A = this chain, B = another copy of it.
């Protein structure tokens, strides 16, 4: 009760096979890579993942055959490439993929985090996204008429309070107050989850929070576990902390094109290492990390032109 601090291995152990999990992260930013790698090391199976926009960690989990069902609103590795492990699993039907839009899936979390049964919205109407969800009898969606007699049609996005959520943030205190600079697309899913796990690059004092409460985006009432994993989102970016590693993302976007290449990658980098520090060593270690240090004003690695490089 005193402290919500856990270590990564124990935290991941709490998550059973088949767990219903919402993931934070967005493409190449704040992806909970360290958490996902540890899930792969612990050989989690049959996960039921929800994520408004998928990120690198999710593609890894799908490629590692940890995922049974994925509800998501699309996503890519930005210009580095595509979510090829997800795309292939989708095409081969090796996972049960349920496609949404970013907003519609987030509404399930908003409803869950507000304690209301659903949010009535018009988004998805007319799309094949909705058609497919209705065909699959996905419980998320229901079409209904306005109760005000104006003939308006709505999609009810049903509240979802996932058993677990996993997000990565730069900082939290040991009580579980979470600080994030920049956009917070994953706020609603974090607040909806029954157990929120937050990997952070650094655990900071509550005293800092008392001085800067405006920086807290998730107060401790939502947080189940705070897990300190420096560079826990590497090779994706954490705004104001470190940049994404273009070299490593380029490499990943090559290996994720074919399952056999991906498997070799996982063998070497994930199951071939016993923790995130070893993973970081494998990826280039301190010298790779030093190149990513974010400028405190720009929030990413600022390149000063040839003469400084």
Contacts and interface: CB of A to CB of B under 8 A. Distances in A.
A241 interface: no
Interface residues on A, range: 10 to 19
Interface of A: 114, 116-121, 142, 144, 146-148, 152, 154, 156, 158, 181, 214-215
Contacts of A148: 117, 142, 158
A118 B116 contact: no
A130 to B, nearest CB: 16
Contacts of A181: 214
Nearest to A139: B148
A147 B146 contact: no
B156 A147 contact: yes
A177 to B, nearest CB: 15
Contacts of A156: 147
Contacts of A147: 117-118, 142, 144, 156
Given A117-B146, A181-B214, 9 more contacts: A114-B119, A116-B119, A117-B147, A118-B120, A118-B147, A119-B119, A144-B147, A147-B156, A148-B158
B117 A152 contact: yes
- Copies of this protein in the complex: 2
A117 B121 CA distance: 8
A239 to B, nearest CB: 11
Nearest to A152: B117
18 contacts: A114-B119, A116-B119, A116-B120, A116-B121, A117-B120, A117-B146, A117-B147, A117-B148, A117-B152, A117-B154, A118-B120, A118-B147, A119-B119, A142-B148, A148-B158, A181-B214, A214-B214, A214-B215
Which 10 A-B pairs give the minimum distances between C-beta atoms?
A116-B120, A117-B120, A214-B214, A117-B146, A116-B121, A144-B147, A116-B119, A142-B147, A147-B156, A214-B215
A141 to B, nearest CB: 11
A146 B121 CA distance: 16
Nearest to A156: B147
A81 to B, nearest CB: 30
Contacts of A146: 117
